Amino acid sequence: MEMRSPEIIPTPEHLVKLERLGDEIAEVSAHLDAATARLLDLIRDFDAQEGWGGGFRSCADWLSWRTGLDKGAARERVRVARALATLPRIASAFACGEISYAKVRAVTRVATPETEERLLGVARAGTAAHVERVVRGWRRVDRQAEAQESARQHKSRGLHVYQDDDGMFVIRGRVAPEVGALLQRALEAARETLYQQTRAEARPTDPAQDIPTMAQQHADAMALLAASALHQGLDPGAPGERYQVVVHVDAAALADPDQPGQSVLEDGVRVSAETFRRLACDASRVVMRHDADGRVVEVGARTRTIPPALRRALHHRDRGCRFPGCGLRFGEGHHVRHWAEGGPTTLSNLAMLCRRHHRTVHEEGYQVTRQPDGALQFRRPDGRVLADVPPPVAVPADPVHVLRSRHAGLRIHPRTACPDWHGERLDVGWAIDVLHPRANPLPRRSPIGASEAELP
């Protein structure tokens, strides 16, 4: 026999109590949104002043480390904080608790100073679900417009090379933005190379030379690019050789950066010995011996600092960069005690660091040591410990009371953030036609219900 609990009929007093409880939930939620707006203002100021620069890759990485946010949530808060700097109307409504963070997060994906008033109207009129649907439709129109513009640009590309009556060749054309940027960088590099060569070959006794104009320099640079391409057989080379960087360093300078000795790139450009120590942590090395006159008398075989099997074990153990607050999946092996100082290339003496934090440890004054229990300890340049997890901040006994006190100048009540929606069906198609500047002009009516007032 099935037993059923007796049906509870709420009394009028109980209904009033529930209504008051619901009002308090809505009011505190609005206070939290106003506090979040203040939080994003602080994040934006901190980000603009690069307060996170002490060893962290970005403001989001610092925020995740300092406040315990998930990396994705931290990146999103930084994005929204930056976007609100150009959206004063949305930022003001958010700071007053009139719209929720969920709505602000959605509209800032598409809002511009020209369209924020329209999207603010959607945020005030609809629920968070309505706003998300409108934003998805809005972005679809943006993507279609961008795709059409990209296709138009691609179709209009062309390069014309023809010989003029006087024998000179004329070049004119249109290329895609990314191709043009690549060509511009290549021309600048070639022009700089020619300029450096000309300056190096000029004699001090020469009279004032006829300096070519910028257009003439670019023409000469184009000739150098063409000659270089033909010289290389239009083959950029194998990837391993293309990206190989060769550094020569004296053994004394490698063992102790304060010792005299050369540390130069293949083309003779000097780099610091500490830079080479970073590169030598995880690279191939060839040992050369020279006589007193500098002639090479012995060349050893190329060896890999960290062999493949040990590298796999390092990746499996560390799972990413070990610098506090980072965790980037791809990194380089760092010798806690450098092999030039006698440190072994063993798993216990290795730690994975991303390229950014590998530089931080070697060249920006940060130190890392392994503790007796095997844990890594990072220290700032001034010696302070950089904890994996910072200590928690003090929280007042009644945080809601503190929020209400701080928001005494705001008119926050249970219906502050309540949308103007009364249950009507959302017509996303009409919403986009009414709101989006790129949508086809159609008769305007409210996207949320036919009886609502016309949106801007």
DSSP string over 228-260:
HHHHTTT----HHHHT---EEE-HHHHH-TTS-
0.75 exceeded by pTM = no
- The owner of tokens 């830079």 is 275
Q: Which of 317, 325, 318 is nearest to 388 (CA)?
A: 325
- 281 assigned to some structural domain: yes
- For range 85-92, the mean pLDDT: 95
- 242 assigned to some structural domain: no
Residue 284, number of CB atoms within 10 A of its CB: 11
Q: Which of 46, 40, 41 is nearest to 59 (CA)?
A: 46
Q: Using one digit for the tens of pLDDT, what is the confidence trace for 390-410?
A: 877 776 788 878 888 888 888
| Structural domain range at position 426 | 12-143+418-435
- 448 assigned to some structural domain: no
Distance CA 153, CA 63 (A): 40
Do residue 382 and residue 302 come from a single domain?
yes
- 59 assigned to some structural domain: yes
Please return the burial class of 442, using the count of CB atoms within 10 Å of its CB with bins 0-12, 13-18 and 19+: exposed
pLDDT of residue 104: 95
Q: Which of 450, 419, 441, 424 is nearest to 122 (CA)?
A: 419
Q: Taking 60 as the threshold, does the pLDDT of residue 163 lie above it?
A: yes
Most confident residue range from 112-121, 149-158, 226-235, 434-443: 112-121
Number of structural domains the chain divides into: 2
Please return the burial class of 252, using the count of CB atoms within 10 Å of its CB with bins 0-12, 13-18 and 19+: middle
Q: How confident is the model at residue 451 (pLDDT cuts 50, 70, 90)?
A: very low
Do residue 23 and residue 94 come from a single domain?
yes
- 55 assigned to some structural domain: yes
- 166 assigned to some structural domain: no
pLDDT of residue 82: 95
Q: How far is CA 450 from CA 335, 426, 430, 439, 454, in A?
A: 68, 10, 11, 20, 9
Do residue 252 and residue 369 come from a single domain?
yes
Q: Taking 70 as the threshold, does the pLDDT of residue 245 lie above it?
A: no
- The owner of tokens 């070049």 is 171
332: CB partners within 8 A, 6+ apart: 281, 282, 352, 353, 354, 355, 358
Distance CA 336, CA 383 (A): 17
374: CB partners within 8 A, 6+ apart: 348
Percent of the chain with pLDDT over 90: 20
Distance CA 214, CA 197 (A): 16
Do residue 422 and residue 303 come from a single domain?
no
Q: Are strands 288-290 and 296-299 parallel, antiparallel or unpaired?
A: antiparallel
**Share in percent of the chain as helix, strand, coil (round to 5):** 45, 10, 40
- 158 assigned to some structural domain: no
- 255 assigned to some structural domain: yes
Q: Taking 70 as the threshold, does the pLDDT of residue 306 lie above it?
A: yes
Average pLDDT, the chain: 80
Q: Are strands 158-163 and 169-174 parallel, antiparallel or unpaired?
A: antiparallel
Do residue 374 and residue 257 come from a single domain?
yes
Contact 290, 296 (CB under 8 A): yes
Q: Identify the bridge partners of residue 163 per DSSP, sorted by sequence position.
A: 169
What amino acid occupies position 202?
A
Question: Hey, which bits of 164-283 come out as E strands?
Answer: 169-174, 247-249, 263-265
Do residue 24 and residue 115 come from a single domain?
yes
Distance CA 396, CA 393 (A): 10
Do residue 271 and residue 370 come from a single domain?
yes
pLDDT of residue 262: 65
Do residue 133 and residue 259 come from a single domain?
no
Contact 117, 456 (CB under 8 A): yes
Q: How confident is the model at residue 243 (pLDDT cuts 50, 70, 90)?
A: very low
Q: Kindly state the tokens that stand for 234.
A: 């239009």
DSSP state of 398: -
Q: Which of 272, 222, 276, 223 is nearest to 246 (CA)?
A: 276
- For range 65-88, the mean pLDDT: 92
Do residue 378 and residue 422 come from a single domain?
no
pLDDT of residue 444: 47
Do residue 366 and residue 424 come from a single domain?
no
Q: Which helix (H) or strand (E) holds 308?
A: helix 308-318
Q: Using one digit for the tens of pLDDT, what is the confidence trace for 95-154?
A: 999 999 999 999 999 999 999 999 999 999 889 999 999 998 888 887 777 677 777 777
Helices 128-155 and 116-125, interaxial angle, to 10°? Answer: 150
Do residue 360 and residue 262 come from a single domain?
yes
pLDDT of residue 332: 86
- Rounded to an integer, what is the distance from CA 395 to the centroid of its chain? 31
Do residue 310 and residue 424 come from a single domain?
no
Distance CA 413, CA 98 (A): 10
